[in-house]
Amino acid sequence: MNDLFEKCRLFEDAKRVMAAGVYPFFRPIEATEGSAVVTHGKRRVMIGSNNYLGLTHHPRVREAAKRAIDKLGTGCTGSRFLNGNLALHEEIEEKLAKYLGKKSCLVFSTGFLSNQGALSCLVGKNDVIYSDRENHASIIEGARMARGETLKFRHNDMNELERIVSQSRARYEGALIVADGVFSMSGHIFNLPGAVEIAKKYKCRIYIDDAHALGVLGPKGQGTEFHHGLSGGADIVMGTFSKSFASIGGYVAGDDDVIHYIKHTARTFIFSAAMPPAAAATVLECLKIVEEEPEHLQKLWKNTQKMQRALNEMGYNTLGSKTPIIPLLVGDDMMAFAFAQKLYELGVFATPVVKPAVPEGCALIRTSYMASHDDKDLDCALSALDKLGHQFGILGNPERQKKLAVLAEEHFGKSG
């Protein structure tokens, strides 16, 4: 017999990175502003945040949160199913459903719990999930909790999806195609039109995780369906409030009967404490601002296009991203850690992404951009990225760039 904790003592991965002086995680943020943070006493330009619309410091949002605390206190102290259901939660559901073009909506306490709860209760033992290989960890966990089988298809590859569906669909009762709308590491947009064709042909339902698409894609930020001009293309849309909507919490939206079923059977909804009042009020105010102040979305895309153009011209492999998530393919894990550390020392905060979040040998520097960035901040980041790209042999090195291009095609597939 072994000691249960033996694996804890043997876990050396993070300790090795710490010993090398390049550990990039859990940096304590002492203060924040629209486009920068203060860490270890120094202001650093933030290009690693999901605060896409820059609303965390919007005066209206902060005032709404304060009013909610004054009226309702700091927490709900229970699940919505019992004593924690606020009028604010129901107002979000009503207004968000209308904004997304869905009949009904259900608000969870986090986005992770939304995926876990909805997928696990919808997919029964005789059903199947067809899951994109780059899907977020919360989808993976939701699929593991579901009693049905999960079959994976190559990232954004509709030919492989149809091949797998055509060969397996007859073995199952129900079928659900599940994918991120915007993939959080690559920044790719899911090929929803292709998935809709396959779903109709083989009687599948479609579930889209719009965590990184809400507030970003579509004319008014309504997400992946609206980006493709396919309102109603997905049967269920899930999302989170912890990114563009400057809060915490999650939701699923779809037809009345489906949402009613999830509401009364999803264990992560029934047995989790509800979103606190300030978080709920923040979401409502962000939704109003998104609809009333389109300049935030316009500025986000202006900044995104500037950075896409500049980074591609420098020679970085950005995996063909067409969203505010712009990954920089580095390759080696330790190089990514060292690169992020040097970037931090130059006053720029970004995050390295290594295995298992990406395939081995495909480490990234994940950069993402916000409406609140100004040109001075963006130019500061570009200057640091240009300097370090050459210093680490990522730029100006045709052989290395060719190798990275092969890795990108092999492991990350199509950008959509």
User: Hey, what domains does the chain have and what are their CATH numbers?
Assistant: 12-46+295-412 (3.90.1150.10), 57-292 (3.40.640.10)
State how far the Cα of 111 lies from the Cα of 49, in Å rounded to an integer. Answer: 16
Radius of gyration of the chain (CA): 22
Angle between helices 256-265 and 111-122 (to 10 degrees): 100
State how far the Cα of 367 lies from the Cα of 47, in Å rounded to an integer. Answer: 5
pLDDT tens digits, 326-384? 999 998 899 999 999 999 999 999 999 998 888 888 899 999 999 999 999 999 999 99
State how far the Cα of 352 lies from the Cα of 327, in Å rounded to an integer. Answer: 10
CB 178 within 8 A of CB 235: no
* Share above pLDDT 90 across residues of the chain, in percent, rounded to a whole number: 91
The number of residues making up the chain comes to 416
The mean of the pLDDT values for the chain is: 96
pLDDT value at 231 more than 70? yes
Cβ within 8 Å of residue 10, ≥6 positions away: none
pLDDT tens digits, 175-189? 999 999 999 999 999
Q: How many CB atoms lie within 10 A of CB 170?
A: 7
State how far the Cα of 194 lies from the Cα of 159, in Å rounded to an integer. Answer: 9
**CA 411 to chain CA centroid, nearest Å:** 19
Q: CB-hemisphere CA count at 13 Å for 186? A: 28
Confidence at 406, pLDDT banded by 50, 70, 90: confident
CB 175 within 8 A of CB 202: yes
pTM of the model: 0.96
Q: CB-hemisphere CA count at 13 Å for 120? A: 19
pLDDT at 414: 65
pLDDT at 160: 97
Q: Quick check: bond before 276 cis, omega within 30?
A: no
- Bridge partners of 176? 129, 205
Q: How many CB atoms lie within 10 A of CB 255?
A: 13
Cβ within 8 Å of residue 300, ≥6 positions away: 52, 53, 54, 216, 324, 369, 370, 371
Residue/partner pairs of 36-42 with CB below 8 Å, 24 or more apart: 36/377, 37/349, 39/349, 42/347
pLDDT tens digits, 113-145? 999 999 999 999 999 999 999 999 999 999 999
